[in-house]
Amino acid sequence: MTPHRVIVDCDPGQDDFINLMLMAGAPEVFDVVAVTAVAGNVGLALTANNARLACDWAGWATVPVYAGCAAPLMRGLATAEHVHGTTGVEGLPPAEPATPLEETHAVTALIHCLRGETAPITIIATGPLTNIATALIMAPDITDRIAQIVLMGGARAAGGNITPSAEFNMAVDPHAAARVADSSIPLVVFGLDVTHQLCMTPERRARIRAINQPVATVVADMLDASARRLPAGASHDGPPLHDPCTALYLIAPELFELSSCALAVETDSPLTYGHTSVDLHGVTERSPNARWATAIDAPAAFLHIEDRLARLT
Ligand code: RIB
Ligand code: CA
């Protein structure tokens, strides 16, 4: 199997961090070109720091980390310390990252990396899409250098998690999301409809902890911290694993059911900005532009999570 050459754009974030650990546990699946950080769960200084720490824990000694946009295209930055803690990776022991931060801005790096590739590559996006949209605006020629964008964001039947009608990544930067949705780049989208099916129950968290290796232990610590922050009466029986659906898809696509859809993002309504209109049945005039994940085999997915984490010592 030829590994997927990927750039990961993320806003670590506990689940972004776990996504990177799954990728580190699957070196035969991923050839990581770069990690780019964007403001989202926490401010850019922290997401960049956390991306560097993730590369340390992943054992990625040569993967460059770039800091990108500190704010959305048009809106003010909204963050999610209430979910991820003040560091963004609550449960991870504080440390000074060994992985350096590159001086080049992530948007410049995205453009340069993509132009330098001999064939189109995959972008994994697990935060607000500000960096990617900005790169597309600055250098439209990179559109053809992107084979697909595998992203976590949006919601259809599940409703919103930051507003009643919008998922966090889409709501933080709806204008960027709309630009990516209109880009003609093949999109594979993992929204709350599917990520809410992959909850880290106490039993699953205990099984991760029982791996008894440093990376698995820190993942269990982050998941336990996340579980403590779940709102009282939350319908989930444990924190949903949002971003790791992207790595799981590239590791084992058979875990998911996906449907073609016409995806559009609301940008202007003060009530519904960031809402993803997901037309699965062709009831609009819009052409299909994405594949939308509707289901996951959660028990099988968890076995993959266990397996990949257990490979990291
Ligand atoms: O809504 C969940 C998404 O928002 C995840 O990517 C999480 O890390 C936050 O960025
Ligand atoms: Ca994220």
Over residues 200-217, the mean pLDDT reads 98
Distance 266 CA to ligand 2 centre (A): 20
> Residue 237 — pLDDT band, cuts 50, 70, 90?
confident
- pTM given for the model: 0.98
Ligand 1 neighbours, Cβ below 6 Å, are 11, 13, 15-16, 40-41, 126-127, 152, 161, 167-169, 242-243
> Residue 231 — pLDDT band, cuts 50, 70, 90?
confident
Residue-averaged pLDDT of the chain = 97
Distance 308 CA to ligand 1 centre (A): 21
Q: What is the pLDDT of residue 105?
A: 98
Mutate to test the pocket of ligand 1, among 162, 170, 172, 242 (most ligand atoms within 8 A of CB): 242
What is the percentage of the chain residues whose pLDDT exceeds 70? 100
Residue 250 has pLDDT above 90, yes or no: yes
Residue 187 has pLDDT above 80, yes or no: yes
Distance 273 CA to ligand 1 centre (A): 16
Q: Among this protein's residues, is 196 annotated catalytic?
A: no
Q: What is the pLDDT of residue 1?
A: 81
Over residues 160-164, the mean pLDDT reads 96
Render pLDDT for 82-95 as a digit per residue (tens, 0 to 9): 888 899 999 999 99
- Identify the architecture of domain 4-310 in CATH: Alpha-Beta Complex (3.90)
Ligand 1, atom nearest to 128 Cα: 10
Are the C-beta atoms of residues 290 and 261 closer than 8 Å to each other? yes
Ligand 1, atom nearest to 167 Cα: 1
Q: What is the pLDDT of residue 82?
A: 87
